[in-house]
Amino acid sequence: MPAKDEVQAARSAPVAAMLAWLLPGLGHWWIGERHRAVILFTATTATFWAGVAVGGVRSTVTPKDNGLWIAAQLCMGPQALAALYWGKSLAPKRKGEPDPYKAPWPSSDIGVVYAGVAGLLNLLVILDALARVEAGQLVVAARAPPQRGRH
Amino acid sequence: MVEFLHDLFVRPVSISGLGRLGMLLPLALMISVVYKTIRCERLKSVPLASLSLSLLIVGGMLAIGLVLLVTFRLLA
């Protein structure tokens, strides 16, 4: 059975990062850190959807009122995109019509912060997946026997 | 099931009073869990390490809040 470093070294860092963006923890799963992947997936996803549950999908993941928080939230990948389009689909049909799903303060702010922090945590997870692949490659390269020069 | 999800994620929750402060606890815990899962080489040490980090975060935030409150009262 190959060592953990060898498994990680055989993987591509950009693919690990892309998988981690697609689904939090999937990058770690792919490089063999399966238990770590499950914990990371559970923690980031629970934080994101807890934010959506508190603030409502209409007020939490929206580029309109939340400024740069949307950039942080989009680090959660397709889940954030799904929430964004779900929220858009609930917009009032006519302009000026009251929005029944608009969250009152402070629920709106709490929801935005939860979802934004979840995205930033997933950014940390993506960077960790990248670092683990590169560290594995360094360890394997250091273990390799020195190559003889040609005379 | 669809109706349950609709109510859970579409209708915002009303939070007031101590509930606002209480929302800091799960957030601090989740930040600690993710951070310690990344940092700790052995996963067995994650629960205790993340619990102590989350207590440190909450304690630190409360201390900052207390200092700001005292400063505000003194300046008022």
What was the ipTM of the complex prediction?
A: 0.89
Instruction: Give the Cβ contact number of residue A129 at 10 Å.
Output: 32
From residue B69, alpha-carbon distances to A22, A98, A110, B18, B63 in Å are 43, 38, 22, 17, 10
- As a whole number of angstroms, the distance between CA B29 and CA A67 comes to 26
Degrees to nearest 5, angle at CA A41 with B56 and A128:
70
- As a whole number of angstroms, the distance between CA A31 and CA A4 comes to 8
Of A36, A58, A113, the CB nearest to B37: A36
pLDDT tens figures, B30-73 = 999 999 999 999 999 999 999 999 999 999 999 999 999 999 99
- As a whole number of angstroms, the distance between CA A6 and CA A21 comes to 23
- Judge: A43–B30 Cβ closer than 8 Å, yes or no: yes
pLDDT tens figures, A88-112 = 888 777 877 777 778 778 888 999 9
Task: Confirm if A33 and A45 have CB atoms less than 8 A apart.
Answer: no
Backbone angles phi, psi at B7, to 5 degrees: -65, -35
Residue A8 has pLDDT above 90, yes or no: no
pLDDT of residue A151: 53
Of B10, B38, B43, the CB nearest to A56: B10
Domain residues of chain A, as ranges?
4-89+102-143
Q: Mutate which of A4, A8, A42, A47 to disrupt the B interface (most B C-beta within 10 Å)?
A: A47
pLDDT band at A65 (very low <50, low <70, confident <90, very high): confident
- Judge: B27–A111 Cβ closer than 8 Å, yes or no: no
Residue A18 tokens read as 């892309």
Residue A145 has pLDDT above 90, yes or no: no
pLDDT band at A22 (very low <50, low <70, confident <90, very high): very high
In 3D space, the residue among A71, A56, A62 whose CA is nearest the CA of residue A108 turns out to be A56
How many residue pairs bridge chain A and chain B with CB atoms within 8 Å of each other? Answer: 80
Task: Confirm if B46 and B33 have CB atoms less than 8 A apart.
Answer: yes
CA distance B26 to chain A (A): 8
- Judge: A90–B13 Cβ closer than 8 Å, yes or no: no
